[in-house]
Amino acid sequence: MSFDWDHNAFYHRLVLRRLPPGCERALDVGCGAGTLAGKLAARADHVDALDRSVQMIEAARRCVGANVSCILADIGDHHLVVDSYDAIVSVAVLHHLAAEDVLPRLAAALRPGGVLVIVGLPARDLRRDWYVEIASMLLNPVFGAQFSLLRGLTGRSWYAHEPTHDVMPVSDHAPLTTRQLADLARRTLPGSRVRRLLFWRYLLVWHKP
């Protein structure tokens, strides 16, 4: 029996909780198969779901509703209209990108009062993060077993990997530790907050003044 589970989907609720009230337009950067974009669409008037993978955008188009535009583009050179989004979110994508170039562009695309919410993968930093690494290693199979049991009992997905997971472009190479990312965020997004999460993720939140 596999106790593997989707750590990214586990953090979708954390992202959704940070959406501003009355969210009109949201952008999901690196939307993958569109699962988070579908959830965003229930809370925002319109969602742009952007990914550079043809397979991911085709998968996203199959699962989202009419208020989601699925955009095949590379965020590195995609034109973003200044002050156009109330929320920009991204899960497990920033380590694929040049964060120092992309973060200011995302910040500019937010409306004043908008929020940027990023769940990312940090580089391992055992000296500072040993406790969270050990906790993650111990809890990962426990959570996996619990979700597997819940799947059997309820018939719901409980953070199972999407069928498209096998063709999803992923990278386990993260260039920045949580602390390095926090330093970069402090410089480019003054007032941002970065905290380390369990299961090899961090959370960055920035409210545009």
Binding residue for ligand SAM, selected from 25, 39, 52, 208, defined by CB under 6 A: 52
Q: Rule CB under 6 A: say whether 75 interacts with ligand SAM.
A: yes
Q: Is 169 in the site for ligand SAM (CB under 6 A)?
A: yes
Output 128 or 158, the one with its CB closest to ligand SAM. 158
- For the chain, where are the E strands, in sequence order? 25-29, 46-51, 68-72, 85-91, 110-120, 193-197, 201-207
One of 42, 135, 137, 170 touching ligand SAM (CB under 6 A)? 170
Residue 196: left (phi > 0), alpha (psi -120 to 50), or beta?
Answer: beta
Among 42, 67, 76, 124, binds ligand SAM (CB under 6 A): 76
Residue pair 92/30 in contact (Cβ under 8 Å)? The answer is: yes
Q: Which stretch binds ligand SAM (CB under 6 A): 16-24, 27-35, 142-150, 196-204?
A: 27-35
User: Which residues partner with 27 through β-bridges?
Assistant: 48, 88
- The residue among 49 and 149 lying less far from ligand SAM, judged by its C-beta, is 49
95 scored as a contact of ligand SAM (CB under 6 A)? no
Q: Which long-range contacts (CB under 8 A, 24 or more apart) does 78-81 make?
A: 78/50, 80/27, 80/105, 80/106, 80/108, 80/109, 81/109
Does position 122 interact with ligand SAM (CB under 6 A)? The reply is no
Sole binder of ligand SAM in the list 14, 63, 168, 184 (CB under 6 A): 168
Q: Is 109 helix (H, G, I), strand (E, B) or coil?
A: helix
Give residues in contact with ligand SAM (CB under 6 A).
8, 30-32, 50-53, 56, 74-76, 91-93, 96-97, 168-170
